[in-house]
Amino acid sequence: MDQKDRQIIRALQRNGRMTNQDLAEAVNLSPSPCLRRLRNLEKSGAIRGYTADVNAKAYGLPVTVFVRISLEKHTEDAVRHFEAQVNAIDAVLECYVMTGLSDYLLRVVVADLDDYEEFVRTRLHPIGGMRSIDTSFVYGTVKKTGVFPHIG
């Protein structure tokens, strides 16, 4: 991937609905080579898809929660079970394997505190095998971007 490919990606991260003509102008290419590069980025998996950036509050899920989870055991079966169960929970938008005190960091969206309690009791606890669940509620956002930094 070269600098021009990265320019294309950054432009699309800012506006995934731009036309190829607008994209080509934004990255200083003619439309045909721009489209060829775009298709190659999609085919290689560098661009995995296109989504809408939706306001969670407007959607009805105004509470964002970061949940740190430590497992009791780290066997292959325990890890596979936990990860499969988490993948099936819609409220979990992201799940990261972590170093440090916790094994996983989940980003969860819910409607309110009662909804979060329901999430923990009916979705997390039944997974089993967890040593600890540590919760932090987001009360403000300073920065949120989907645009990668410039390289080089």
Mean pLDDT of the 118-123 span:
98
Q: What is the average pLDDT value for the chain, to the nearest integer? A: 96
Q: What is the pLDDT of residues 38-67, one digit of tens each?
A: 999 999 999 999 999 999 999 999 999 999
Q: What is the pLDDT of residues 17-38, one digit of tens each?
A: 999 999 999 999 999 999 999 9
Q: Looking at residue 80, what is its pLDDT?
A: 97
**CA-based torsion, 11, 13, 14, 16: positive or negative:** positive
Q: Please give the C-alpha separations between residue 124 and each of 26, 44, 48, 61, 145, in angstroms, as whole numbers.
A: 45, 35, 29, 18, 28
Q: Which domains, and CATH codes, for the chain?
A: 3-44 (1.10.10.10), 56-137 (3.30.70.920)
- pLDDT at res. 1: 92
**DSSP, res 50:** -
State the pLDDT confidence band at 152, using cuts at 50, 70 and 90: confident
Q: What is the mean pLDDT of residues 114-142?
A: 97
Q: How many CB atoms lie within 10 A of CB 152?
A: 5
**The residue type at 10:** R
Instruction: Tell whether the torsion through CA atoms of 116, 121, 123 and 129 is positive or negative.
Output: positive
Decide: 91 and 110 in contact? Cβ < 8 Å: yes
